Amino acid sequence: MITVSDTASDKIKEMLDAEGTPDMFLRIGVKEGGCSGFSYGMGFDDERHDGDKELELKGLKVVVDGDSVKYLHGLVIDFKESAMGGGFTIENPNASATCGCGSSFRTAADAGKPAAAGEC
């Protein structure tokens, strides 16, 4: 369903270790908004909810809420180093269009609800 590169996995594990809370996991989701209709959400959490799908990816505990699963099938998360520090990248085969900043998208079947102009 979701692929996490070795580089991204190492970076996420490093960040989780820095949190100092052993029960935390990576939560990935989608919500309406962003300039294209949907925005990605990725962060640490320690609470599971009804409908969550739990995954084990390269030794990482990953949780996706039930509503987001349909938008994330085939998602690839990577981490790229750059002269400016680096950051996570997301490739989503379900996206029919993405915004310039790469943090929002829409699918052929669902346009979501874009945010107001200027809110990416």
C-alpha span between 80 and 84 (Å, rounded): 10
| Domains of the chain in sequence order | 2-107 (2.60.300.12)
Task: Return the SS3 of 6.
Answer: helix
Q: What is the pTM of this model?
A: 0.78
pLDDT of amino acid 4: 96
pLDDT of amino acid 29: 92
Residue with tokens 């520090």: 85
Block means of pLDDT (10 residues each) for the chain, 120 residues, are 94 92 91 76 94 94 93 92 83 75 63 56
